[in-house]
Structure 1
């Protein structure tokens, strides 16, 4: 039986919620557009070199009309620059999951229109994230290369040391039997030269593509040799002398066409077990209503089932232990015909809710049923009553179940996600298969007011213990400063800029994104790989 919504879409509350959420979505789109606009400023330079722009390369690579889920679109926001008005998100990367020649792939495009594609502070975390996703979900990795490498003006030794993981992961992908296809559109020098070196297939573009451990300037500075860039590392040289390049392309478009053919000839889906056709009914409620169902202030309660009714097939779900631990909602439902378990919050998690969730997770694991976590909780309950009821013990059960379940986990931050409640709801540290945030999401150890109130109380107790007089004005200023500090760090755009999720999405796209992610997870589990011991070595 379908859920009957109690939402009045004509009410002032709904209209206010919707206006607030739409404003946040518009802010998200404005932030994403900054990278597009900045990169587009270099169009003339691309044309002078006979090239097409990074986003045109992406468009030619992907199958027309098929879905593409961009990841980490806000990477670097308020990291590379602390000015909210000037910070450009994206970290000179365009990454995501899409279809190439009918194959679901991980795609990585260097945005060389921004700082020549040089990697920013959050570029490495974003790349390591997508490499991990490619391995987990058995996705061929396609990399369209044109990058100045590490930004030496922001160079720190830990970036170099940790950057080795990028190359290790390419080796591991190959050993797993997951191919990497690289197109050299432009330079890939120094450590970046090992990106094509560790790829399984390399396509080099004439005149522009280049890979070298050191460019001509560095060679001259280090050895005194006056080298020519093209002879040193041009695509033509690598195709005829070094053997680094398998396929020589006339231009960018030709290189991408070759990459598509390479993927096509892999016949990658031949080891994909056939899946039954899934029939499903769309939700009875319009996805557009998700913009008004949820208040943007996490302190205003709402019923998580109203969100589920606009996401799951036919708006139908079965509540598990609906009268027990009522602030924790556990639902059995389907999305795009895929049966799944949904855990959501209608408030803090109490001992009953934690034990219910732990049992539900184990049952989903037993049935091989993917889990979806809809985060809106200020954490586990505290206080004498809850401590005596075993909150630590029962909360730990829930965390243990989340950490050890073997089924796919997809988490969404759609409100608050504080403290250990974030852990129990499969937060970023628990490595869910996919993790997205709504633009109203707030994540952190606790809310700003909670943190400020705690510190204010500590200050009062300290002053009392020392017999000192309390400066109320100073204390009020401290309270305000602490609250602002915590709130700034918990903002969805701020946390996504630090790659603490896979991206921020429009709430109205939730069903489509969940369906795509569930299909990606299940496809991976139905695919047989042909691993080897060391990966494919370049000869």
Structure 2
């Protein structure tokens, strides 16, 4: 391996300006993260605590092995999406270590709308199950939910990837030998009752845990029968009479300990250690905000980024002199091997071919892939179209799509249009995807979109014998620029679960190491590529 060298002057004016501009983006994410971590209102928290219940995040923290982190998925989901706050989509989800084994954990947050499922809550739950399945992880469900949020039922119930898919996934993952464990720590109503009922083993807490298809109010409305929640579906009934639950717990902590014991008996082996001893980079990751250009039109030096992300800043580059606008090579993060692709300019035919070949090599050698996006797209123009850039770009998209090694994506700058697809954007099947707070992504850049729309309008007016005035041009441009800037933001993406997280550059190595650790023992899948157009 070759040791990367930094040529950045950390005392320069440009470095300082970049770091200052980055701080503005960082503060936006920090405010949103604080709201997500807080959960529901103070009143909701007081009511929750009065029932002797831990919060969702407290439950997750006590379930995990002491001192181990949570690789959280969708922390910023639903931020400013609905008419009222729904922090983290009322669901805490992530990969953590339980009894030495990695599990995907789901915890309903009953301080947020009673833990009910909003559309984004269902999507987040399904996303977590997808990650678990791809990586061969068992699932632990900490249930405390009033079921679906009924006013939005049309976006929750009828379709293929709505609420029912959660139950189908539980059944299929259980059939595949992936443990499905549930702790009923509060209400579990209506369709949500199938989560504990379908799991391999279920724990219920006496006095607070309830499971029923129809709650007391629905039973009264439907049949006229008056019955309290404990009699209708409490822990005593379901552990002694119905067998819906297998284990009786006296408190949240007792239930979590039982779940830890069950996890310890899982057939999944403990987490494998990294291939080699983790070592820090030779250059401080805290310098990354100063390396990232203040304006996305400016160049972000690829090797400067790698020098602050890879173990010991060591990198074995692949075809360094060919297709130089994409940098490919292997290194380690947290001791885990990884194949890296990072943009260093626009994609040309040569860079697309080089990247596709590199993906083939990594797939053959079972090396996970990391895509670091900073891409406007493929080069356009008559010369490049005549040179077959569409065909060569399709090779790269083919390779990205079909490679069955674990794939992770991180947008560090811009990620636009076909360049996003080529760099393993969301639609290309990355196991996890994140953005830096300063990153941006849309189908086309805002300036280009505004220019295209003004040219189209100008051509239309030319046919009528007149020109587009500056005022008319501004009327077209300004709404487009404002809309694109809002929709390109990482927070906008994370709120809609188009990415799994917004990661600070300083925390990126930790995030990547957790991703690679999660995938280290994932089931091996054979890669078979589609037809490459030669």
TM-score for both structures, normalised by structure 2: 0.94
RMSD: 1.8
User: Which whole-Å CA distance do the structure 2 matches of 1:433 and 1:517 have between them?
Assistant: 8
Q: 1:458-479 CA distances to partner (integer Å, 9 max, x unpaired)?
A: 0001111233453431221211
User: Which whole-Å CA distance do the structure 1 matches of 2:415 and 2:435 have between them?
Assistant: 10
User: Which whole-Å CA distance do the structure 1 matches of 2:491 and 2:110 have between them?
Assistant: 24
User: Which whole-Å CA distance do the structure 1 matches of 2:85 and 2:268 have between them?
Assistant: 40
Equivalent in the alignment of 2:392: 394
Equivalent in the alignment of 1:532: none
Equivalent in the alignment of 1:183: 183
| C-alpha deviation, 1:280, in angstroms | 4.2
Alpha-carbon contact 1:89-1:497 (below 8 Å) kept: no
Equivalent in the alignment of 2:64: 62
Say whether 1:505 aligns with 2:506: no
| C-alpha deviation, 1:16, in angstroms | 1.7
Secondary structure at the residue paired with 2:163? helix
User: Which whole-Å CA distance do the structure 2 matches of 1:510 and 1:364 have between them?
Assistant: 22
- CA gap of 1:398–1:185, structure 2 versus 1, over 3 A, is same
Alpha-carbon contact 2:39-2:111 (below 8 Å) kept: yes
Question: Between Structure 1 and Structure 2, how many residues are aligned?
Answer: 521
Say whether 1:347 aligns with 2:326: no
Say whether 1:282 aligns with 2:283: no
Q: 1:63-88 CA distances to partner (integer Å, 9 max, x unpaired)?
A: 1111211110111123224xxxx755
| C-alpha deviation, 1:410, in angstroms | 1.0
TM-score for both structures, normalised by structure 1: 0.93
Alpha-carbon contact 1:379-1:422 (below 8 Å) kept: yes
Out of 92, 95, 101, which is 2:93 matched to? 95
Q: 1:174-225 CA distances to partner (integer Å, 9 max, x unpaired)?
A: 0110111111111111110111111111110111101111001111111222
Equivalent in the alignment of 1:308: 306
Secondary structure at the residue paired with 2:173? helix
Unaligned regions of 5+ residues in structure 1, if any?
A: 528-539
| C-alpha deviation, 1:423, in angstroms | 0.6
Equivalent in the alignment of 1:195: 195
Once the two structures are overlaid, the 10-residue window that deviates more, 514-523 or 241-250, is 514-523
Equivalent in the alignment of 2:14: 13
User: Which whole-Å CA distance do the structure 2 matches of 1:286 and 1:129 have between them?
Assistant: 33
User: Which whole-Å CA distance do the structure 1 matches of 2:70 and 2:143 have between them?
Assistant: 19
Q: 1:311-337 CA distances to partner (integer Å, 9 max, x unpaired)?
A: 111101122222222111112222233
Equivalent in the alignment of 2:403: 405
Out of 487, 491, 510, which is 2:489 matched to? 491
Equivalent in the alignment of 1:51: 53
Alpha-carbon contact 1:456-1:479 (below 8 Å) kept: yes
Matches within 5 A, 1:34-433: 34-39=35-40, 41=42, 42-81=44-83, 87-156=85-154, 159-161=157-159, 162-266=162-266, 268-269=268-269, 278-433=276-431
Once the two structures are overlaid, the 10-residue window that deviates more, 193-202 or 72-81, is 72-81
Unaligned regions of 5+ residues in structure 2, if any?
A: 526-534
Alpha-carbon contact 1:34-1:88 (below 8 Å) kept: no
| C-alpha deviation, 1:404, in angstroms | 0.9
Alpha-carbon contact 2:86-2:113 (below 8 Å) kept: no
User: Which whole-Å CA distance do the structure 1 matches of 2:155 and 2:37 have between them?
Assistant: 30
